[in-house]
Structure 1
Amino acid sequence: MEASQVESLTLETAIAQISTLARPEGAEALPLARCPGRVLAETVVADEPVPAHASSAMDGFAFRHEDFRSGSSAAGRPGRRLPIQGRVAAGHPLDEDLWLGHAVRIFTGGMMPAGADTVAKQEDCVSDGFFVELPPGIDAGANCRGAGDDMTPGTRVLLPGVRLRPQDIGVAAAVGRDSLSVHRRLRVGLATTGDELRAPGEVLPPGCVRDSNRHTIGAALRSLGAEVTDYGILRDDRALIRTTLDKAAGENDLVLSTGGVSVGDEDHVRPAVQDIGSLAFWRLPIKPGRPVAVGDIAGTPFVGLPGNPVSVLIAFWLIGRPLLLHLAGATDLSVARFPARADFDHRHGPGRREFLRGRFRLDETGSARVAAYRSSSSGMLTSLTWSDGLVEIHEGTGDVHAGDLVSFIPYSELLS
């Protein structure tokens, strides 16, 4: 795609292009304890019922409902009185079938004896240890979990491409899996550009600034499970940038740089990439983060992020994150958006997607409200620590007024 075409791209179109890129090959089998956050590379099928047997969902008394209907009442009480045959705890089933006209003391998770089909909660019963008086009105099957109620044999319980959460690990364990095949971690080469940059801890000469971008993006990449190789701060030298990016492309699955992608005389990243690769798009109608480049270097995907500290992280979240997740094998690249009422006024010209730093709250009626940071400057890194999400203002939207409905993206959606 030519650079002149990029202004017609929407954010959604750019992400759709990203999702067509070829993924690196390779998977590994890991024990469950090492799988959280990894992307599943196989289909997990239940080969046994879960639960494996019928069990009690409550502490109480298990009985045959037919006996309840035909049992005898204690004097003056409207329930049913049954003799107690035995005791069942979780992991300690009764070693015989339930006798006709009897009940068993049972605890939560205890295996239902053969013949029992209903459980009365202990707090509704009266027992002397030999007989139990059951309350009236118990439905057949009450307080029982059937074998296979959760998962039946042959059910596909986890699908490839899911990023494994604690509950997914639990499902895998529940069907008897002690390991899973997951996509290998993505290797990302990271560099930042600029003669003015100095690393934290170094002397800061006049006219120079601390390199925060490399640490910000490195942390964001690692939070998404990537293995990061740091290629350091690169001077504003086209040949040096070209050589370093070419080296990084040969050693990683993705190359990511910050700074140097705009149109100034000292912005050398874009021409350096075009010397050894190509760009799929450069510049998107988003604010902040417009000068973001996506392409490849010798077949390795490349993302060039802006240099301003707010722009770099927002552009990474909007473009770098979905690309990273796609290459890592994930199938869901979306983020949830929530409606909220604006607590601010904001002038917005149509034609560009804008992202304000926002702080969410619930008002006295429980309605969602969001405030905007006092400045839209892309150089104020503290605006990202003040806020807890992004307010998204779409291309076709005009000025925003207090009380208008806006979309809010919590940072929690972008950090994992």
Structure 2
Amino acid sequence: MMAEELIPLERALEHLLSAALPLEETESVLIAQALGRVLASDLTVSADVPPADNSAVDGYALCCTDLASGMALPVSARVTAGQHPAPLKPGTAARIFTGASLPPGADAVVMQENVTITPEGIRAPDETAPAQNIRRRGQDLEAGSPALAKGTRLRPQEMGLIASLGLDRVPVYRKLRVAVLTTGDELVDPGQPLLPGQIYNTNASTLRGLLAQMSCDLVVCETVRDTRKDTADALKKAAKQADLIVTSGGVSVGEEDHIRAVLEANGELTLWRLAIKPGKPLAFGQLDGTPLLGLPGNPAAVLVAFLMVGVPYLRRRQGDLTSPALGERLPAAFTVATPSVRQEFMRARKQRLNNEDVVTVYPNQSSGVLSSACWANGLAVIPANTTVTPGASITFFGFHELTG
């Protein structure tokens, strides 16, 4: 893996994922705290959901055979949600509301809009059929069936489903502890005045947000000066506190790029330089047994490299077994006349033009232009050595798909 040639993304991911040892420690958390966490064990349905046949609409519950006489059906009961209804009296109907349990003896519910009310009772359409407007017991989940599988990342819908099982807590893997080190003497924290030659540290904030989206615990977030000693000290300190170190900058070939040098001298560098654009100067290895993911220094390159390399690695470490993002094929509404020797991830926008979903790209794809990612809602993937003409089919990854 240490050859100086650029490594294709697929090979790099294979290497990283083979080194991504999933967490083993688990904890039990309240459902309200479970968003974004990864389920640590299978969940089985303990009771039918819903627990009884119930009405899908506001209307009248009746037995269809009672309609054969052509007589109006007197209304003998009123059933609201939360009640345990008595059996339906033969030859009558029950006023019923959405979500209310179906009275024993009833086999259909007629929407109130389709009922004619007379002094003698209600009249229902002749075509009323058994099971009409009824949500059957166990329709959502049957007792004893699988509910959610171990390795599922919990979204709002999974939180609701867990609640439907009657559980107030859920077993999840503990959060991954991550240290973020941004490198560069030119970096200044937002809120401070800039001196000549300085820039604000954008990468720390970007990585904070990305790691929060991935439900990681940020245990260190520091800016490291561009010296070999400062870099080595910061890395060793972070290695003692974190499950993963993420750095930005310091992994290229410049004399002030110390991350790679420290890793080679004090740990192990197992991957360096990817055949992607932006994001070529990416490194991976370990220091004192703690994995390190070294990202480029340019802001847009940090975002792209983290999404395409960091996210899959983090998912595997977190025990997340959900399917990876596949992207979608869409027509291009742009041109790439000069092909790149690297696979390119262009900040792009999926939008509706002329009654068709198409992909447009930001005009300036420089790796230092972070505003392009704010304009975009995803990434357009251009294979290496490939030109693009309008209408060509390309792969598009939505940001929400990559991190969701």
TM-score under structure 2 normalisation? Answer: 0.94
Contact 2:299 2:368 in 1 (8 A): yes
Alignment of 1:188-337 (within 5 A): 188-332=178-322, 334-337=324-327
RMSD over equivalenced CA pairs, Å: 1.9
CA distance in 1, matches of 2:48, 2:193: 64
8 A Cα contact 1:84 1:129, kept in partner: no
The residue matched to 1:399 in structure 2 has which SS?
coil
Q: CA deviation at 1:156?
A: 1.0
User: In structure 2, what is the equivalent of residue 31 of structure 1?
Assistant: 30
CA distance in 1, matches of 2:242, 2:328: 36
User: Structure 1: which 4+ aligned runs deviate by more than 4 Å?
Assistant: none
Q: Which residue number corresponds to residue 58 of structure 1?
A: 57
> Given residue 379 of structure 1, which amino acid in structure 2 is its aligned partner?
G
Percent of pairs with identical residues? 37
Q: Give the aligned partner of residue 382 of structure 1.
A: 371
Q: Deviations over 1:376-397 (max 9, x none)?
A: 21111222222222111123x5
Bigger drift between 27-36 and 326-335 goes to 326-335
Q: 1:205 to 1:195 in 2, by over 3 A?
A: same
- Tell me the secondary structure at the aligned position of residue 113 of structure 2: helix
Residues 1:90 and 2:89 are matched in the alignment: no
Contact 1:339 1:368 in 2 (8 A): no
- 1:2 equivalent in structure 2: 2
Contact 2:23 2:173 in 1 (8 A): no
Q: 2:150 aligns with which of 155, 160, 165?
A: 160
Q: CA deviation at 1:333?
A: 6.0
Count matched residues: 403
1:306-357 C-alpha deviation (Å, 9 max, x unpaired): 0111111111111112222222221136224122222221134364210111
CA contact (8 A) 1:38 1:163 kept: yes
Task: Provide the C-alpha distance between the structure 2 equivalents of 1:209 and 1:190, rounded to a whole number of angstroms.
Answer: 18
**1:358·1:371 contact (CA, 8 Å) conserved in 2?**
yes
Distance in 1 between residues matched to 2:379 and 2:12, nearest whole Å: 19
What's the CA shift string for 1:43-84, capped at 9, x where partnerless? Answer: 11111001101111111221222323xx3225xxxxxx2232
**Structure 1 residue 94, shift from structure 2 partner:** 2.2
TM score, norm. by length of structure 1: 0.92
Measured against aligned partners, the alpha-carbon deviations of 1:266-308 in whole angstroms (never above 9, x if no partner) come to: 2111121122221231111100001111122222221000011
Local SS of the residue matching 2:74: strand
Q: Aligned pair 1:15/2:16, yes or no?
A: no
SS in 2 for 1:154: coil
Out of 67, 73, 86, which is 2:70 matched to?
A: 73
- 1:218-268 Cα distance to aligned partner (Å, 9 max, x none): 221122211113342212222321221121111111101110111122211
SS in 2 for 1:19: helix
Contact 1:56 1:143 in 2 (8 A): yes
Paired residues of 1:195 and 1:236 also in contact (CA < 8 A): yes
The CA distance in 1 between the partners of 2:363 and 2:294, in whole Å, is 28
1:407 is the counterpart of 2:399: no
Matched residue SS, 2:143: coil
| Distance in 2 (alpha carbons) for counterparts of 1:264 and 1:408 | 33
